[in-house]
Amino acid sequence: MEKLNVTMKDYILETPETVLKNIENSSALTNDLVHEFLKKPYSRIIIVASGSSCNASHMARLFMMKQLNMEVKIVTPFTFTNYEHNINKDEDFVMCISQSGCSTNTIKALRKCRELGIPAIGLTGNVNSDFKTEADLVVDYGVGIELVGYVTKGVVTLALFLMLFALEANIDIKLKDRIMIEKDMKKAMTAHAEMVAAFDVLYNKHRKAFTSMTNLYTVGCGANMGTVMEGALKVGETVHVPSCCYEVDEYIHGPNLQLTPNYTVIFVDGGDEAGKRAVQAYHATRTVTDRCFIITNDPTVDEDHAIRIPSCVDELLTPLHHVVFFQLLAHTVSTELRTMPRHPLFAEYFHTKIDNKSENYVDHHKELFEH
């Protein structure tokens, strides 16, 4: 296979352009899914997704709930297929998500939908994947091309798509409110660029700490639970250190007892009232470890350990740019330490015993992951 020169960072830097284009094309982009959703007076949305798609869904969940005034439940495909599929056909709107369209667990979830007698709706970044034959309705959520398996652009564009879907499906929204929300979504891409610049400054100050991580806690709340979930996943996938995510008050109810000066802990303050709790937890954690950082505009945090984002938007939209910190951290550390390759036993044997992608999946960067 010809080696590709594209990296995670290339797709991170492409994200704002794709997001802004999708905001402008919101109606056309979401039309098929909105049309399907408005066929019945649904009272609950169930999103079936795993990995980064699951995390992106959590990033959008609270925004969707606010716009549509209904519960949004997120469940993994394995759990949906085997355990949690007690569906009310007239009240529950189910959508299954896989960026590649080749994830075997999500394919099974689509089949389960058909078995239950409900529409098998698939959201994907690749409409010519297995979803084409497995789903009744295939929706392209607008990520475009992303060949690196550790997705970055796909996370933000999926979260945005779900937000735009909720905005378009909210038939009661006032025009002035919609205009303000779209303006804030675009502002979030200004903040995206600010995050890229701020990351470089913080990373260069603490390069020794970041390149010697032995474990990582990511801590947040609200919409940014999805952010810290993705942060833990990305660092664990690429840097290959144990990485765990926690809601801020759950962090101080047990996981904090493990703290030593060797622990790395990164907090996210979304800027709302609840975010103040993250700042408190940050200050408490700094009494134990200096490997402690926070995304915040709170003035009580010293500049050496803070990421400041001047372009403030509603907390429900902040995941669109806050997640970039963790994407850049994963890319930069794994590149410097060359941790992308997997253990030879894993590379040789793991997927001979269990699969997670269909035979149609193409791993464009396989050579990067194996010794």
Residue 149 sits in a domain whose CATH number is 3.40.50.10490
Residues 53, 119 within the same domain? yes
Q: What is the pLDDT of residue 5?
A: 81
What domain range includes position 124? 8-173
Do 107 and 243 reside in the same domain of the chain?
Answer: no
Which one of 173, 202, 228 terminates a domain?
173
Domain shared by 325 and 277, yes or no: yes
- Domain co-membership, 78 together with 45: yes
- 219 & 308 share domain: yes
pLDDT bucket at 196, cuts 50 / 70 / 90: very high
**Does some domain include residue 344?**
no
> What pLDDT sits at residue 27?
97
Strand partners, 306: 294
Least trusted range by pLDDT, from 45-49, 280-284, 360-364: 360-364
Within this chain, do residues 40 and 166 fall inside the same structural domain, yes or no?
yes
How many structural domains comprise the chain? 2
Would you say residue 71 lies in a domain?
Answer: yes
Structure token pair of residue 23: 């905001």
pLDDT-derived band at 361, boundaries 50, 70, 90: very low
- Asked if pLDDT for residue 360 goes beyond 70, the answer is no
Burial class (CB in 10 A: 0-12, 13-18, 19+), 101: buried
Asked whether the beta carbons of 159 and 226 are under 8 A apart, the reply is yes
- Kind of pairing between the strands at 264-268 and 216-220: parallel
pLDDT exceeds cutoff 50 at 116: yes
Residue 214: which pLDDT band, with cuts at 50, 70 and 90? very high
Specify whether 163 is located in the same domain as 198: no
Position 354 in a domain: no
Distances (CA, A) of 208 to 203, 263, 283: 9, 14, 21
pLDDT value, residue 2: 43
| Angstrom distance (rounded) from CA 107 to CA 302 | 48
Whether pTM > 0.85 for this model: the answer is yes
How buried is 258 (Cβ within 10 angstroms: 0-12 exposed, 13-18 middle, 19+ buried)? exposed
